[in-house]
Structure 1
């Protein structure tokens, strides 16, 4: 059965996780998670070594590598992408990019059993990265596609506005800028939650089983707002 490694540096947190899926028994999931602003480069590879060592797994035993492909911090996404691509290329293993917003939704579903999750990350410049999801039995289904937009333009999925929605992610710290219809539709907000590799690896193993792994050079970060990266490079 497959063994997958996932890593993430898309936010102020840094994380790594290893999943060993075994037939007839519970999955083995080992993870590390730390809030490490401006220390992602220093901590990411040691975290990878820690989860591999705890699992007793050599890099060559991995079947695939996954990483948080965004949206999120531009610098963090590049750090994670470069690290994951280097590992996947060196091991000749497929690489999978996992949505940070989907991972946020799955994390809230796994920990609190919420079903309807509206994820939002602070994108700076007066905008948020946002998407809406329905979660059932450990799976996430997109109800609103990922987008970058001002908080004032957020809206609940039209066909699901009457459900009990929970907001997840740093974007909800901008609550006062949200439309009244969105505020009224949310029963709770969890602005402190960050994307985590342990949720990404669970999404990645399903994608891997569906044959979605790709050669390392074909998998790229998803910024949603490429013009910011262009401005910073000038």
Structure 2
């Protein structure tokens, strides 16, 4: 199976992976996964170069470029999309946009690193801190017959109290539970929580390989991020209101 280069910068992590299906059917990935904060744009291309050199291949030897399309940080999504487009244009490769929330669900499905096997029929609700006192959320159900994720709820960006939960039993993935505590009602209802399941490039590779097998790619010029939020910054008054709410909750002994 050909290699896929994947870039994910929708959070404060710069995650780049070069992966393929190895002999025996296992996913094989070379990875750079680093907490870069706002400096992902400066690190992503060097990381990709390191992985290509480590594998001993050229970019043109890859079958496609995958990127984390969001939802997520506005700047991070533009970085990942722009890098994927530039690399794909230069190497004459197709692009695979990957839903960043689905990548979190895929991280749970792949397991390892202390994550138990996802039970059959159990959905994964992903909730990520979206800043501005909101969460990005969406639930997914693994369809074993189709070998792919199906949406169990619509994607949304909303206050943590308003996050929709799937009707079936579910696991909770993502950092929103740690950020919002009891305000995220799904925390108390989930069968199991995986707070460290953030969007990461190896999960993008896994999803993109399946998409590539189904010829679900786009031309570089057609690659677009997934924006759930039109507004990307709070006013001073809105930031002050959020700060006062958190201070009030803290004074009352509740987790903000």
Which bracket does the TM-score occupy, shorter chain normalised? Answer: 0.7 to 0.9
Q: Which piece of structure 1 moves more, 109-118 or 85-94?
A: 109-118
* Contact map agreement 1:69 1:99 (CA 8 A) in 2: yes
**Deviation per residue, 1:18-59 (Å, 9 max, x gap):** 122356554432111111112202211111012111211111
Counterparts of 2:92 and 2:21, CA distance in 1: 20
The worse-fitting range, judged by mean Cα deviation, of 187-196 and 127-136 is: 187-196
Q: Is 1:12 paired with 2:12?
A: yes
Whether 1:84 aligns to 2:88 is: no
Q: Distance in 2 between matches of 1:24 and 1:57?
A: 21
Identify if the C-alpha distance between structure 1 residues 166 and 89 changes in structure 2 by more than 3 Å, giving closer, same or farther: same
Unmatched runs of 5 consecutive residues or more in structure 2:
236-256
1: CA distance, partners of 2:231 / 2:50: 36
Corresponding position: 1:132 with 2:139: yes
Moved more, 98-107 or 19-28: 19-28
**Count of paired positions:** 224
Larger Rg: 2
Gaps of 5+ in 1: none
Structure 1 residue aligned with 2:173: 168
> 5 Å matches for 1:40-51?
40-51=40-51
User: Is residue 208 of structure 1 aligned with residue 215 of structure 2?
Assistant: no
Q: What secondary structure, in the 3-state scheme, does the structure 2 residue paired with 1:228 have?
A: coil
TM (norm. structure 2) is 0.81
Structure number with the higher strand fraction is: 1
Give the Cα–Cα distance (whole angstroms) in 2 for the partners of residues 204 and 79 of structure 1.
19
3-state SS of paired residue (1:50): helix
The alpha-carbon distance between structure 1 residues 192 and 20, as it changes in their structure 2 partners (threshold 3 A), is closer
